[in-house]
Structure 1
Amino acid sequence: MRVTQVRVPWLATAALACASAVFAQSAIHAESPDEAAVEAEAGIPVGDPLVREKCGACHAPDAKGNLSRISWMRTTPEGWAQAIKRMVRLNGLYISPEDSRAVVRSLSASHGLAPEEAVAVSYIPEKRIVDETNIPNEAVRGACVSCHAFGQPLSWRRSKVEWKNLQDLHVALYSQAYAQYSRIEGGDDGDGDGPAKPTNGEVALEYMRKAAPLHTPEWAAWSARQGKPRLAGTWLVTASVPGKGRFVGEMTIAPGTAPDEFRTTTTLRSLADGSTMTRSGNGLVYGGYAWRGRSGSGAGTGGPDNLAAEVRETMHFTPDQQRAIGRWFWGEYHEFGYDVKLVRASAAPAVLAVDPGALKAGSRGAQVVLHGHNLPAAPDVADIGLGSGVAVRKVVSASADKLVLTVDVGADAAPGPRDVAVGGAFLERAFPVYRKVDFLKVTPETGLARLGGGKHAKGFQQFEAIGFDNGADGKANTGDDVAIGPIAVTWSIDEFLSVYYDDDTRFVGQIGQNALFTPASDGPNPERRFGRNNYGDVWVVATAKSEKDAFGKPLSARAYLVVTVPAYQRWDQPELSQ
């Protein structure tokens, strides 16, 4: 772990703590007696001698084996790494990279999150940009999400006292926290009648104490059953990359030098063009299930979206150690990535993917390829099920990893997903049947790119145009819409009119016909009005090449794209991967 080794005078640290205690009290209403900073909840003891040695000088131990503060919180490996770095920067902690990594590994096991708790915020370590739908109200949004994703606090579990201590720390360190916490959502009615309205800080504190308490049934169960990861063996991989298509393959996981360390060799085959790629790497498992690794193909460099790039791997294995899901990502802003699923291979047959990814109702003699593992060598037509309305007419060829079929789809086949069954293997929702492409969606619906090219790297944005069938109800954007998959389109950008002199399309960058948006160089730009930088916001427009609407016009869709300045300060934790 790369941790800067610095010392901060103890007097400065004491002054900071004093400022925190004094200033925080003015941020929200006075505490009630039960909110005093005295722990009433049972702590989680720290038994690791190294953690007690490195942390115990400041976090005082008690007779029960607890360390102050630490024993009343739990978090992800990324959370503990963040805490150690803060201790180095602010509180004078001196710790070697090796010891720092060992502390993170230990605390992730003894004071981590249960798998169920971690999956809910997996988009944070997976470096996904998502529209968070888990924010309960505007007060919490104002208190917690004005500066960072809501997944950041939800990645922690704390006692009631520790949630209050976190608010105090924010007030002491960040000048804007005072204003954010002391606001009242909707304003004060000013009539003086009734109890005072709670501030955003009070609402958020109450919510987090209930939503993310220190002790949960999930953690009680997992801490009792947690064991060493036993992942060695062969794993079946399915993956997809926006703009690049789908992949199938195998990952071989071999034991490393420690029980929680592993070496990997992965072979992926593209369903789009049949090309193959082999990657090798290693991984480290935190808390019995959380994989953090890296791998590369050794194929050298290419474009920013080069599939052969070295990737960071973040996955969560199921408690039974039979499946995993996650993201392997790369890019200066982690904007490129494989969405991956792993299933442990066995002697039993398995179906991984169906190609093509969708079948049209009324199709005759369509060729369908089932990709899998240990598939039957000579299957009978009657042994293969592709769901209602889809009939297998012929097995063209068969091998252990591929069945090539000829199928017919009934003209009246209902739109929707189909399951596949072959020789005891079963794959749910393997492909959809659709009637027609009724509308398009451009994904992501909101994108972000960053200028660069000089001192700072560019941040790219990959788009896709996904076709949809309206589904059984015949209406768009309802629950039964059928996602068909990527559609052939032409790409362009249009002005998003926000000011009278908008000229963003001329300066922000270009989108290629591979749907990759490449931002312009960072400015300022003397050719632009007021000499502004090349930032701006635009529409990214996809126009179908073949599919048309009821009026005979090509289907189209658009997404909103913000092109902004480089991130001059960035937070990352590459040391969590081996």
Structure 2
Amino acid sequence: MALSNNNSKRAVLGTGVLALAGLASMPLHAQDAEQIIKDRCLACHTVSGDAEAPSFSRISQQRKTPEGWLMTLNRMTHLRGLELAAGEKRALVQYLSDTQGLAPEEAAPYRYLLEQDTNRVESGIEPALAETCSRCHSAARFSLQRRTEQEWKYLVDFHMGQFPTTELHSLARDREWYKIASTETAAELGQRFPLITQEWNNWQQAVKTDLMGRWRITGFVPGKGEFDAWMSAVKTSDNHYDVTLDGHYADGTLLSGAGKATVYTGYEWRASLTIDGVKMRQVMAADKKANRLEGRMFLAAEREIGGEVSGVRDQNMAALVAVQPSYLRAGESAELTLIGQYLKGDIDLGEGVVVEKILSRADDRITLIAKATGSEGLRTPRVGTAADNAGLAVYSELARVEVLPANAVSRIGGAGGKMEKVRAAYRAVGYSAGADGKPGTDDDLRLGYMPASWSIKPADEVAAHDKDEQYAGSINAAGIFTPGDAGPNPERKMSANNVGRLTVVATVADSSAKVEGEGSMLVSVPDFVRRVLD
């Protein structure tokens, strides 16, 4: 596998997703978890209510994601001396996530943080919250919590007690930060993210469907490309599964893997897998009917190196889940792969798209040669009764290329130090100009991910003067950027380190033309917030 199988176990303080994915074990019951809280936590917390529905101070007044609860337990362990056995921690994360988690609708807008898709620029943050909270945290960090207004006030007090220099930071020392945070900000958070919501009440009452069974999976792995596979989830105990994957990459290479998964809050899928010898993590969410899974899969050692993954449950009925690639240039013949299950019957790729030759055909995978004519637009491919609603884009000319992520951060490292390099993975998305013929408008037709050649150049005149393109890093043919080494570089002015600002260029060939797109890369210093675990 053309990926780094880095065995140094890196975790991000505060997210806990890498550790969380590996928490699969024999679970304890809810009564056991409540008893653990009584045995381990009541030295500082108090309990009220009856035995059937106990309320624990500062605990029962919050709701969080599984990662959020793991963060809390880790903080109690490291800062407050809480002693928990591994099995007890697993039981508490499961119990608190199931009983005081987030409803699917509440977590949906911020799933990028749970999925460790960190190269994003957040937008739409309420200005007051941006100034008070998002100058240190991502907006998703506090948006993935639910608390009473009093609990939000307590959180402000915690910040002042734990980080007394908070009031001296930028956007704090020029105003009465504590007064604003403890009154206006806490009230705003209490209104936007309250403990009690209709969404959570509805989800608590909803019937949860078990996620065991077979799933038709499609996804992307940087350095390997798109893949399709069958994923089998065999239930070993409540919310715990043994998982196997068998499938193909788009180039025909076989894919095989196995591991374990845990489901939290009735829909939050977390899996730890080894695929072709490389340790991977899956973070996905099931839809309310538990017929689909959507999320991201990434390297266990490098959360930045990953891609989208989705699954459709095997329900003994026809389903067409993907067409790879998702575009076809009018007037040209190209190979397409139809991926699904129980694909029987006639093949119809939509108006003006002709199947010229079937190269291989199975019930779950059909490879063929197709040619398109007619106007630009989305077609709806069908095999018998199964249809791919995502569509096949027929286009006449590639108008523009979008580079994703648009803005990325990598970090120098290695060179014998304890902090490793933080890489980044890019993909190119193609668009035609659409009906109005003007690229860059809402009318553009998204074609999908396209193969590209990759290069870097200085981001501006200063970067060119400093020769950042020579020292800050390099990008390979798969779009994976690797930053330079940490430490002083005697070849640079004043032996500066290898940080820099670059533009990443994707060049996509479309017939005889070549179309370029650009993305931003900031090569920064090592991320000292990360902790290297033995």
Q: TM-score range by the shorter chain?
A: 0.7 to 0.9
> What is aligned with 2:220?
240
Call closer, same or farther: CA 1:260–1:219 in 2, change over 3 Å.
Answer: same
Cα pair 1:467 1:487 within 8 Å, conserved? no
- Within 2, Cα distance between the matches of 1:404 and 1:158? 52
Residue 572 of structure 1, CA deviation: 9.4
Q: Contact (CA 8 Å) 2:349, 2:379: kept in 1 or not?
A: yes
Instruction: Give the CA deviation at 1:291.
Output: 1.5
Do the aligned residues in 2 keep the contact of 1:139 with 1:200 (CA within 8 Å)?
A: no
Q: Deviations over 1:302-343 (max 9, x none)?
A: xxxxxxx21012111123221111112115441111311111
Q: Does 1:489 align with 2:489?
A: no
Residue of structure 2 aligned with 1:261, choices 240, 245, 266: 240
Tell me what 2:145 maps to. Answer: 156
The reply on whether 1:68 has 2:35 as its aligned counterpart is no
Equivalent pair of 1:353/1:372 in contact (CA under 8 Å): yes
Deviation at 1:201, TM superposition (A): 6.4
In the TM superposition, residue 539 of structure 1 has moved relative to its aligned partner by: 1.3
Contact 2:281 2:300 in 1 (8 A): no
Aligned partner (choices 66, 70, 76) of residue 77 of structure 1: 66
- SS of alignment partner, residue 151 of structure 2: helix
For 1:442, which of 379, 398, 403 is the aligned residue?
403
Overall identity of the aligned pairs, in %: 31
* Other-structure match for 1:515: 479
Which letter does structure 2 place at the counterpart of 1:448? V
Over 3 Å counting, the alpha-carbon distance change for 1:238 and 1:434 in structure 2 is same
Residue 372 of structure 1: which of 340, 344, 353 is its match? 340
- Structure 1 counterpart SS, 2:487: coil
Over residues 202-228 of structure 1, what are the superposed CA-to-partner deviations in whole Å (9 max), with x where a residue is unaligned? 55333311211000011111112354x
Letter in 2 for 1:83: T
In structure 2, relative to structure 1, the CA distance for the partners of 1:434 and 1:106 (3 Å cut) is same
Q: In structure 2, what is the equivalent of residue 10 of structure 1?
A: none
Question: Does residue 1:336 correspond to 2:305, yes or no?
Answer: yes
The structural deviation recorded for 1:367 is 4.5
Residue type of the partner of 2:113? I
Alignment correspondent of 1:355: 324
Instruction: Assess, with a 3 A threshold, how the Cα gap between structure 1 residues 475 and 403 changes in structure 2: closer, same or farther.
Output: same
The 8 Å contact of residues 255 and 263 in structure 1, kept in 2 or not, is answered as yes
Q: Deviations over 1:349-370 (max 9, x none)?
A: 121222332111233x554432
Confirm whether residue 418 of structure 1 aligns to residue 379 of structure 2: yes
Change (3 A) 1:500 1:408: closer
Q: Are the aligned partners of 2:166 and 2:172 in contact in 1 as well (CA < 8 Å)?
A: no
The answer on 1:231 being equivalent to 2:191 is no
Counterpart of 1:213, as a letter, is: P
Work out whether 1:466 is the aligned partner of 2:429: yes
Write out per-residue CA displacement over residues 235-278 of structure 1, whole angstroms, 9 at most, x where no aligned residue: 1101123454321110011111x21110011013112x111111
Name the stretch that deviates more: 339-348 or 155-164.
339-348
In structure 1, how many angstroms separate the alpha carbons of the residues matched to 2:181 and 2:43? 35
Are the equivalent residues in 1 in contact too, given 2:411–2:422 (CA < 8 A)? yes
Count residues with an aligned counterpart. Answer: 498
2:501 and 2:334 map into 1 onto residues whose CA distance is 43
In structure 1, how many angstroms separate the alpha carbons of the residues matched to 2:532 and 2:239? 22
From 195, 203, 216, the equivalent of 2:197 is 216
Are 1:461 and 1:517, in contact at CA under 8 Å, matched by a contact in 2? yes
Structure-1 residue corresponding to 2:13 = none
Q: Is the 8 A contact 2:103 2:200 kept in 1?
A: yes
Cα offsets for 1:99-134 (capped at 9, x unmatched) = 122111111111111122122222122111243545
Q: How far off is 1:508 after superposition? A: 0.8
Q: Distance in 2 between matches of 1:570 and 1:179?
A: 24
Tell me if the contact between 1:541 and 1:559 (Cα under 8 Å) persists in the aligned partners. Answer: yes
**1:72-221 equivalent positions in 2, closer than 5 A:** 72-179=61-168, 183=172, 199=180, 202-221=183-202
Contact 2:33 2:88 survives alignment (8 Å): no
Determine if contact 1:181/1:200 at 8 Å carries over to the other structure: no
Distance 1:564 1:201, change over 3 A: farther
- In 1: Cα distance, 2:367 partner to 2:282 partner: 32
Tell me which amino acid in the other structure corresponds to 2:486.
D
Q: Could you tell which deviates more after superposition, 436-445 or 53-62?
A: 53-62
Counterpart of 1:286? Answer: 264
Measured on the aligned residues, the alpha-carbon RMSD in Å equals 3.0
Q: Is the contact between residue 122 and residue 139 of structure 2 (CA under 8 Å) also seen in structure 1?
A: no
Q: Look up the SS of the partner of 2:331 in the other structure.
A: coil
CA spacing shift, 1:391–1:543, aligned 2, 3 Å? closer
Q: Look up the match of 2:518.
A: 558
2:530 aligned to which of 560, 566, 570: 570
In the TM superposition, what whole-angstrom CA distance separates every residue of 1:392-440 from its partner, at most 9, and x where no partner exists? 4666654312334454422x4133x322222211211232111101112
Counterpart amino acid of 1:292?
Answer: R
The corresponding residue for 1:21 is none
SS in 2 for 1:429: coil
Find the aligned partners of 1:94 and 1:407 in 2 and give their Cα distance: 62
| CA 468–492 in structure 1, closer or farther in 2 if over 3 Å, else same | same
5+ residue gaps, structure 2, are 1-8, 10-30
TM normalised by structure 2 equals 0.85
In 2, the alpha carbon distance for the partners of 1:140 and 1:275 equals 48
1:48 is paired with a residue whose SS is helix
* 1:211 maps to amino acid: R
- 8 Å Cα contact 2:412-2:524 kept in structure 1: yes
Q: Which one scores higher on RCO, CA 8 angstroms, separation ≥ 6? A: 2
The gaps in structure 1 that reach 5 residues or longer are 3-44, 189-195, 301-308
Distance of aligned partners of 1:405 and 1:274 in 2 relative to their CA distance in 1, 3 Å threshold:
closer
> For each residue in 1:539-564, what CA deviation from the matched residue of structure 2 results, as whole angstroms up to 9, or x when unmatched?
12234455677xxxx43222111111
Moved more, 528-537 or 384-393: 384-393
Could you say which residue in structure 1 is the equivalent of 2:26?
none
Question: Which structure has the greater CA radius of gyration?
Answer: 1
> How many angstroms does 1:464 deviate by?
2.5
Structure 2 residue 349 is the aligned partner of structure 1 residue 390: no
Instruction: Between 488-497 and 367-376, report the one with greater CA deviation.
Output: 488-497
What is the rounded CA distance, in whole Å, between the counterparts of 1:450 and 1:373 in structure 2? 42
Supply the distance in 2 between the matched residues of 1:451 and 1:352 (Cα, whole angstroms). Answer: 39
- Contact 1:389 1:414 (C-alpha < 8 Å) held by counterparts: no
